[in-house]
Amino acid sequence: MTKTTLIPVGPQHPVFLEPLNISLKLKEETVVGAEINYGFNHRGLEKAMAADFRRTIYMCERICGICSFYHSTAYCQSMESLFKVEVPERARFIRLVMMECQRLTSHTLALGHTAEAMGYESLFMQLFREREALMRLVNDISGNRVHYSINTIGGVRRDIPMEKQKEMLSVLDGLETRFAKLAKVFKDDRTIKERTIGKGVLTKEMAKKYCVVGPVARASGIPEDIRTSYCRDLDFQPIVRDEGDSYARSMVRVDETFQSIQLIRKALTMLPEGPLEVPVKGNPSGEAFIRLEAPRGEVIYYVKAKGTVDLERIKVKTPAFVNVAALSAMVPGCEMPDIPVITVSVDPCICCTER
């Protein structure tokens, strides 16, 4: 009869970018259970966001630095439905292009993070070199590297002019060829395969039970992607795998990177002419509910307004909240050294989760 050992991982841990604490229950080298402790990053943003609906665009981008544009888009869309205005088509497409750009930066970050957790320092560096090209691209378009701040209620504030579109396409072409080489490492490298295949398996039943979303759900065989509804005109098909292990989750991200590049190309060729924003006046009232597909899964915004500058309630549901919880179903039976790789393969985003 072996004793159960309790090992705390985090809140400060070299693998995690953010403060997350996992208490692992170990029997010898095998993990038998995990308890996830939240709350290190809770700032009370939902209350702060409800203070003034005009400032919320600024505040909601600060929920998360990796998917900031999704938060501001979801918020602006819910406000637009409260004001009953229709966003110009050009603005809708610019939002879509920027969202896909952010998905690219997020997925390359997640893959780089996975590589680093496995000890693939060189792969991590190369992925981040490619990511830097993307960061410079979005910096050129929006003026910011992290928080794009180009959304406004009723449209977008910055255009993507013709010469920027050409530049964008050439950057993406270069990125695609270079990224294909790196993706091959992820796909075929023997060590990566051995460290990820069959590790941290989340079966379809468990995935449904934990209500996981995004790449984690799609790697467990659930074809859920909100983009199927709002990217209809771009002929979008979600990428689904059935294995449900760390390898499948990484591969979904790898494939989605190429898919995002394709989506940006298509969206740029279809970019309609027209105004960028419609004017919005007065204070909002009523209720709105918006779903968007962020890099980690669906993000939900619920806004209730009461006709004044402050909002009655703004509720955000972020993808990482459910995905991180599913970790406790993935880790039992694994060995201690696999924990960082499994955790990172879920792509935890604590700032989103806790707000």
Separation of alpha carbons 292 and 77, rounded Å: 10
At 228, the amino acid letter reads: T
Q: Does 42 bind other proteins (CB under 8 A)?
A: yes
Q: Does 148 bind other proteins (CB under 8 A)?
A: no
Smallest separation (angstroms) from other proteins to the CB of 323: 15
Only segment of 140-148, 165-173, 179-187, 209-217 that touches other proteins (CB under 8 A): 140-148
Smallest separation (angstroms) from other proteins to the CB of 286: 27
Smallest separation (angstroms) from other proteins to the CB of 11: 6
Only segment of 56-64, 200-208, 224-232, 277-285 that touches other proteins (CB under 8 A): 56-64
Cα–Cα nearest to 144, from 105, 87, 189: 105
Q: Which is nearer to other proteins, 11 or 332 (CB)?
A: 11
Only segment of 10-18, 157-165, 196-204, 242-250 that touches other proteins (CB under 8 A): 10-18
**CA 201 from centre of chain:** 21
Q: Does 132 bind other proteins (CB under 8 A)?
A: yes
Smallest separation (angstroms) from other proteins to the CB of 144: 8
Separation of alpha carbons 210 and 74, rounded Å: 24
Count of positions on this chain that bind other proteins (CB under 8 A): 39
Q: Any bridge partners for residue 23, and if so which?
A: 8, 35
Only segment of 130-138, 218-226, 250-258, 288-296 that touches other proteins (CB under 8 A): 130-138
Q: Does 65 bind other proteins (CB under 8 A)?
A: yes
Q: Does 313 bind other proteins (CB under 8 A)?
A: no
Q: Does 145 bind other proteins (CB under 8 A)?
A: yes
Q: Find all residues with CB under 8 Å of 194, minimum gap 6, and list them.
A: none
List interacting residues with other proteins (CB under 8 A): 11-15, 17-19, 39-45, 47-48, 58-59, 62-66, 68, 109, 124-126, 128-129, 131-132, 135, 145-147, 349, 351
